[in-house]
């Protein structure tokens, strides 16, 4: 299985269990459907960063209290703040299938999450090349909701990037992003290369999550 199929399987909660052929066929079909409708968009800016101590950070006046994020950003002087989405068309596709074929909707959800992850990883590779040429090294991508980095900071990121106007990305009163297959994140930039292995699941304290990457 290719990497994004493996990710879709993980999002479906299979863990180490074998995946049946019918599900794999649904995954293939779902990725094909998503490729037709997805409108991948991203907006980002680079801000000055100050890590005050082991749990306090300041990004262009935005005060954040997070021990996990401060550890991730240690040694960084700047930060990339980003918002990305697959577009409202993906939500519309899932809603359409939810009326007739719920099992496919569940698979579509997983495949869309895997597609978004793939999109961000590929974009980050390009960013890494650009920043390396300027003498900066990247820390792992870190999103509100990971560890003790409050999900409420999504609102701050959306506002600082003007995501609603630029890529149509907003947030509900319950702090959920819309379109649903979207993400906000920060990436630390430092002058010293650090071999970081913690990202995503590895940075999260929710050890009992069924979607955790093994």
pLDDT at 93: 96
**Average pLDDT taken over every residue of the chain:** 90
Beta bridge partners of 80: 46, 187
| Cα(138)–Cα(192) distance, integer angstroms | 9
pLDDT at 210: 35
pLDDT at 196: 56
Arithmetic mean of pLDDT, 84-89: 98
* Percentage of the residues of the chain whose pLDDT score is greater than 70: 90
Burial of 65 (0-12, 13-18, 19+ CB in 10 A): middle
Domains of the chain are 3-190 (3.40.109.40)
pLDDT at 35 over 60: yes
pLDDT at 55 over 50: yes
Arithmetic mean of pLDDT, 178-190: 97
pLDDT at 65: 97
Arithmetic mean of pLDDT, 159-170: 97
* DSSP category for residue 139: P
pLDDT category at 34 given cuts 50, 70, 90 is very high
pLDDT at 207: 47
Q: Across the beta sheet with 137-138, what order do the strands follow?
A: 62-65, 56-59, 41-51, 76-85, 182-190, 137-138
Beta bridge partners of 185: 82
pLDDT at 201 over 70: no
CB atoms within 10 A of CB 2: 9
Helix (H, G, I), strand (E, B) or coil at 143: coil
* Percentage of the residues of the chain whose pLDDT score is greater than 90: 78
Between residues 106 and 15, which one has the greater pLDDT? 106
Between residues 200 and 162, which one has the greater pLDDT? 162
pLDDT at 18: 78
**Residue from 12, 214, 177, 168 nearest 104 by CA:** 12
pLDDT at 20 over 60: yes
């Amino acid at each position: 299985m290719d990497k994004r199929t493996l990710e879709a399987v993980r999002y479906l909660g299979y863990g180490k269990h074998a995946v049946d052929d019918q599900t794999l066929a649904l995954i293939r079909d779902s990725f094909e459907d998503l490729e037709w409708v997805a409108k991948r968009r991203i907006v980002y800016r680079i801000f000055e960063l100050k890590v005050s101590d082991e749990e306090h950070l300041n990004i262009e006046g935005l005060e954040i209290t997070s021990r996990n994020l401060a550890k991730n950003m240690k040694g960084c002087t700047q930060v990339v703040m980003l918002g990305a989405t697959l577009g409202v068309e993906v939500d519309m596709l899932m809603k359409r299938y939810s009326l007739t074929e719920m099992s496919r909707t569940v698979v579509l959800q997983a495949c869309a999450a895997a597609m978004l992850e793939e999109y961000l990883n590929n974009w980050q590779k390009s960013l890494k090349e650009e920043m390396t040429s300027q003498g900066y090294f990247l820390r792992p991508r870190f999103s509100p909701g990971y560890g003790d980095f409050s999900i409420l900071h999504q609102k701050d990121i959306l506002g600082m990037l003007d995501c609603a106007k630029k890529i149509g990305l907003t947030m509900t009163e319950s702090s959920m992003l819309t379109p649903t297959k979207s993400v906000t994140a920060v990436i630390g930039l430092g002058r010293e290369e650090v071999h970081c292995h913690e990202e995503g699941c590895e940075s999260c304290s929710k050890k009992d999550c069924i979607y955790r990457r093994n």
